[in-house]
Structure 1
C-alpha cells in the first residue's frame, strides 16, 4: 500500500485553515517544528505515525479523516465531508448539487461499465 503524502498534507492544511489556525500554532500544539509542519503540509516529507497522531489531536480530528485518500474503507469520511460541504447551502444550491451528483453518478457508472 502506498500512502499519498501530498493528499494527507493537503487535508491537514484544509482542516487547519477551516479552524483559522496558523501553521505555527499547529506546530506548537503538535510539538513539531514549524518547518517540519510546513514540509508535512506540502507532502515534501513522509509524516511518521506518531507525528500524524499529534497533528490529528491538535486539530481535533480522527486519523481516518487525514488519511482517507489512502484507505479503502473511507466512505463514512467522504460522506461527512460532503455533508459539511453542503451544510451552508440554500435550497436551490442543494437541488442543483443533488442534480449534478445524480448526473455524475450515472455518467461515471456508464463509463465504468463500458471500460470493464
Structure 2
C-alpha cells in the first residue's frame, strides 16, 4: 500500500481553509514549522504519523478524513463528502448529479472498474 501524500496534503489544506485557519496558525497548533506544514500540504514531503496526528488534532478532524484516499474502507467518509457536496444544490443541479452518478456507476460495473 502506497500512501498518497499529495491527496493527504490537499485534504489538510481543505480542512484548514474550511476553518478559516492560516497555515501559520495550523503549524503553531500542531507544533510544527510553517515550512514543514507547507511541504505537507503540497505533498512534497512524507508526513510522519506523529505529525499527522498533531495536524488532525489541531484541525479537530479524524485521521480517516485525512488519509481516506489511501484507505480501502473509507466509504462513510466519501458518503459524507458527497452529501456535503450536494447539500446546496438546486433541483436542476441535483438531478444532473444524480443522473451522472447513476451513469458512472453503471459504466464502472459494466467494465468491472475497481472490483
Alignment TM class, shorter chain as reference = over 0.9
- Partners of 1:60 and 1:98 lie apart in 2 by 31
Matched, 1:57 2:57: yes
Query: What aligned pairs does 1:76-87 form with structure 2 within 5 A after superposition?
Result: 76-87=76-87
1:112 is paired with a residue whose SS is coil
Partner residue, 1:32: 32
5+ unaligned residues in a row in structure 1: which ranges? none
Matched, 1:72 2:72: yes
- Over 3 Å off, 4+ runs: none
Normalising by structure 1, what TM-score? 0.92
Over the aligned positions, Cα root-mean-square deviation in angstroms equals: 1.4
Partner residue, 1:112: 112
Query: What aligned pairs does 1:37-52 form with structure 2 within 5 A after superposition?
Result: 37-52=37-52
- Partners of 2:88 and 2:59 lie apart in 1 by 22
- Partners of 2:58 and 2:85 lie apart in 1 by 22
- Partners of 1:111 and 1:27 lie apart in 2 by 44
Residue 21 of structure 1, CA deviation: 1.3
Partner residue, 1:17: 17
